[in-house]
Structures are given as structure tokens and as C-alpha cells.
Amino acid sequence: MPILKADLSGKRLRELAEAATDVFCRRGYERSQMSDVAKVMGVAVGTVYLYVSGKEALFDLTIRHGSEENESWMDALEIPIQPPAPGATMAYLEEVFRRTEWPLLAKALRKKQVENAAAELDGVLREQFGLMRRHRRGLLLLMRSALEFPGLTQVFIHGLRDRLLDQFAKLLRIRAAAGQYRAVSEVRATAATVIQTISWANLQRPLDPGLLSMDEAAVETSVVELLANGLLA
């Protein structure tokens, strides 16, 4: 099969990545088939294989598509895209997660006490809301495939998410010691409840037909107020 430069078909390659994201988000890695992606695109399955050699190559493309702000890197690819080297997809994600930061949370952790704990907490919670909303589809893709793609559980669940839980649990301890947060018996479980509530609002709720039409800003405000009322002393 001849190798073509992706810049000759860049628009189609982006459409493929978008269609694959939709399929992987709904079905996870194992249940997704190339024919599912072709159906979403409205093309024959053979057309998909003109761009990627198989599902592993497509999954790697989709991961990178969801993680990069600038899509110009796609123009340098050669198609059909071949499977990544063993471990390359997870190595890429590890680097993305290593660079992931939560500035307001990090700033809060540098202080033993603050004048306005309520305002600080509001900012920390809304920071998580904004990040999850911005990367909604990519995070949902990772969640749906975490137990199916080799190494993804370790990198995503025990890597990025555990790091976030550790930092938020640390904040709970610092502010509780200062008398600004309620003391809780299970700090890490409380941190997980907070993060999972924000995750539900941004990732699972939009998949519920009965809750999809809710105003995004109203959902954010409701969740932030509920969590803050439960945490603040």
C-alpha cells in the first residue's frame, strides 16, 4: 500500500480521530471495532484502513489527538499510521500527566492557613471543574478503556488520579489542622468523594439524556456550593 503524507488528507485524518474518540468513549477499547468508526464517519471500513493500520494505531492517534492543543503535528504523519512501539502510548501519557498541574491547588498547599478559606476552596474546586470540562472527551476515553488497554490503569488511575487525590487529601489535613475545614475520619475517602463528584458532573452527567440539558454553569455552582458546605468548618 503506498504511503501518503497526511497533509494531503489532514482534514480526513482529524475526522477519523474525532470519530474514533466518539466510539472509544462509548464502547471502550475492547468492544470498539474499526467498522464502528467507519459507521460514524459514514465510510466503508476499508477507507479507515487507508489511514491507520489497525485499532492499536487508531487508539494511539486518538489519545494524542485528545491531549494536544495544537493539531499541526498531524500534518507530519505518514499514512497509513503504523502501530506504536511497545509501551509508546503509555510513555506518551506519562509525559502528559507529568506536565499536568493544578496551580490553585499547588498554591493552597504552600500555606498553612489562609484568611479566606471559603474563597480559596471555591477556586480550587472550580479549577478542577474547568480542567475536567476542557478535557472531557479525553478523560472519558481513558476512563472507559482503563481496564482494557495494557498499562492504562497504572498510568491513569494509579498515576494522575492518585497524585490528585494525594494533593487534595493533603489540603484537607492542612486546613483541618488550622480549624478552617471540618475534621473527617477518612481524609483520602473524602478527597476521593470530592474529586469523583466533580468527575460525575463533567463526565458521566452529560451521558445521561435526562441531565444533559442542564446548564453547565448552574451544575458547577451547585456542586461547588454543596462540596464547600460539607468541607468548611
Q: What are 87's three cell numbers?
A: 509501551
Give me the pLDDT at residue 9, please.
Answer: 59
Predicted pLDDT of residue 110: 97
Domain ranges for the chain: 4-84, 92-231
pLDDT in tens, 149-182: 999 999 999 999 999 999 999 999 999 999 999 9
Class of domain 4-84: mainly alpha
pLDDT for 1 beyond 50: no
Dist CA 211 CA 219 (whole Å): 10
Which of 11 and 94 is assigned the larger pLDDT? 94
Confidence of residue 66 (pLDDT cuts 50, 70, 90): confident
What the block records as the C-alpha cell of 213 is 440539558
The mean pLDDT value for 188-208 works out to: 96
The class (CATH top level) of 92-231 is: mainly alpha
Q: Do 4-84 and 92-231 share a fold? A: yes
The chain-wide mean pLDDT, for the chain, equals 93
Are 136 and 143 in contact, with CB atoms under 8 Å apart?
Answer: no
Looking at residue 6, the DSSP 8-state letter turns out to be G
pLDDT band at residue 3 under the 50/70/90 scheme:
very low
**How deeply is 13 buried, as exposed, middle or buried, from its count of CB atoms within 10 A (0-12, 13-18, 19+)?**
buried
- If you average pLDDT over residues 94-112, what whole number do you get? 96
- Pinpoint the alpha helices (H) of the chain: 10-31, 34-41, 45-49, 55-67, 88-98, 103-109, 117-134, 136-145, 152, 162-177, 187-199, 216-231
Nearest to 14 by CA among 66, 55, 57, 83: 66
